Amino acid sequence: MTGRLILSFSFLFFFGLLNAQSGGACKCCEAAFRQFDFWVGDWETTANGKLAGTNHIVILQDSCVIQENWVSAGGQYTGTSYNFYDPQEKKWRQTWVDNQGGSLLLTGGLENGSMVMYSGEMINQAGKPYTNRITWTPNPDGTVRQLWEATTDGGATWKSLFDGLYTRKKINK
């Protein structure tokens, strides 16, 4: 056990030394890593004109991760997502986990100014396959629209599951 611990610390020291020698340059500051920054902030989200919940979205890990922290209007439903750009695949990824035991893995990228991510094929409660598509669109007034859709016919048609409008919370001074 002690040998493994020493080996682990040696690796950490070595990689820390390499980073220090490279000048500590921001590894995730290139334009591709910043494509989803429009979603960062503190938001109130409405759907059908009613408050759906709040979202606190921050940048972490030396600008490499965008973390979402969702709380529904009633507070009973919460969730967190981790969003990051994968430079090898040249795609964005999202991993969502909530307090109901749900999870969702999405992959996608910027399309015409909107972030669009898709799930892999999943099976619904009726035993039929479906795919999710979630689109985040920044609006000229500073709001962001999140449209969550699903298809059961390979993308020929899409059914809206959630259509929310993110409005920045007002800061009290």
Amino acid symbol at 149: E
Per-residue pLDDT tens over the stretch 34-74: 999 999 999 999 999 999 999 999 999 999 999 999 999 99
pLDDT in tens, 133-167: 999 999 999 999 999 999 999 999 999 999 999 99
Confidence of residue 6 (pLDDT cuts 50, 70, 90): very low
Global pTM value: 0.84
**Per-residue model confidence (pLDDT) at position 23:** 56
Q: What pLDDT band is residue 128 in, cutting at 50, 70 and 90? A: very high
Task: Express each pLDDT in 80-104 by its tens digit.
Answer: 999 999 999 999 999 999 999 999 9
pLDDT tens track for 104-115: 999 999 999 999
